[in-house]
Structure 1
Amino acid sequence: MSTAPTAQQWKELYEAAERYKKAAIWRWLSNSHLFGVRDPASGEIGYCCVFGNGGEMFGLAAYMGSEGLRMIVDMLAGELDEDPMYSQHCLLFSLDDRSELEPSEYKRIKQLGLSYRGKNSWPTFRLHEPGFMPWPELTAAQVDYLALALEQAVLVGQAFQRNPDELIEGDKDVYLVREIRPSSGNGLEWHDAWLAPEAPETDEGLSASAVPLDELRIVKALKGVKAGAGVWEADSFYVAMPIQEEERPYYPKMTLIVDQATGQILKFALSKGAEAATVAAESLLKLVEQHRVLPKEVWVGSEAAGDALLPLAEALKLELLWSPELPALSEARAAMEQRFG
Structure 2
Amino acid sequence: MILTDDMLAVAFQYRDTALWKILTDSDVFAFRLSDGETGYCCVMGNGGEHLALGFYRGRKGFTSYLKSLSFDSMQFSEIDMIEMAATFDCINCDFMEASAMKDKTKKLIRNYADAHGLKVRRPKGWPDFTRHQPFKIPSGITCEKDAADIVEALRAAIAVAGELTHRSLAELGFDENGDYPTTDGGKLVPYLVPNAEGTYDWGMIDLPPFLPDEWPVPEFANDILIRKVKKLRTFGTLQVKLIHIPTPVNESADGIPFLPSVLLCLDAGKEGLFPVFCMEDGEKASQQMLVELAENLCRLDNKPDTIEVEDGRTESLLKDFCDRCGIRLFRKEELPELEDACSFLIANFMR
Task: Compute the TM-score of the two structures, normalised by the length of structure 2.
Answer: 0.78
Q: Which runs of 5+ in 2 are unaligned?
A: none
Q: CA–CA distance in 2 between the matches of 1:68 and 1:310?
A: 27
Q: Is 1:34–2:28 an aligned residue pair?
A: yes
Q: Is 1:147–2:147 an aligned residue pair?
A: no
Q: CA–CA distance in 2 between the matches of 1:198 and 1:29?
A: 20
Q: Is 1:50–2:43 an aligned residue pair?
A: yes
Cα shift readout 1:297-331 (whole Å, capped 9, x = no counterpart): 32223211111112222332413223433414532
Deviates more, 1:81-90 or 1:167-176: 167-176
* C-alpha deviation, 1:109, in angstroms: 1.3
Aligned to 2:124: 120
Q: Is 1:237–2:237 an aligned residue pair?
A: no
Deviates more, 1:303-312 or 1:117-126: 117-126
* Aligned mate of 2:232, from 225, 228, 233: 225
- Residue 165 of structure 1 aligns to a residue whose secondary structure is coil
Task: Count the aligned residue pairs.
Answer: 326
Residues 324 and 283 (structure 1), Cα distance of their counterparts in 2 relative to 1, 3 Å cut: farther
- Residue 324 of structure 1 aligns to a residue whose secondary structure is coil
User: What is the aligned-residue identity percentage?
Assistant: 19
Residues 122-271 of structure 1 correspond to what in structure 2 (within 5 A)? Answer: 122-157=126-161, 158-159=163-164, 161-163=168-170, 164-165=174-175, 172=186, 175-181=189-195, 183=196, 189-196=199-206, 207-208=216-217, 210-214=218-222, 217-222=225-230, 224-226=231-233, 228-245=234-251, 247-271=255-279
Q: 2:63, 2:211 within 8 Å by CA — same for their partners in 1?
A: no
Residues 266 and 296 (structure 1), Cα distance of their counterparts in 2 relative to 1, 3 Å cut: same
Aligned to 2:332: 322
* C-alpha deviation, 1:268, in angstroms: 2.2
Q: CA–CA distance in 1 between the matches of 2:272 and 2:17?
A: 57
Q: CA–CA distance in 2 between the matches of 1:144 and 1:120?
A: 23
Q: Which runs of 5+ in 1 are unaligned?
A: none
Residues 154 and 49 (structure 1), Cα distance of their counterparts in 2 relative to 1, 3 Å cut: same
Aligned to 1:301: 310
Corresponding letter in the other structure for 1:69: F
* Aligned mate of 1:25, from 16, 19, 24: 19
Corresponding letter in the other structure for 2:69: L
Residues 262-301 of structure 1 correspond to what in structure 2 (within 5 A)? Answer: 262-272=270-280, 274-275=282-283, 276-301=285-310
Q: CA–CA distance in 2 between the matches of 1:155 and 1:201?
A: 29
Residues 4 and 244 (structure 1), Cα distance of their counterparts in 2 relative to 1, 3 Å cut: same
Residues 202 and 94 (structure 1), Cα distance of their counterparts in 2 relative to 1, 3 Å cut: closer
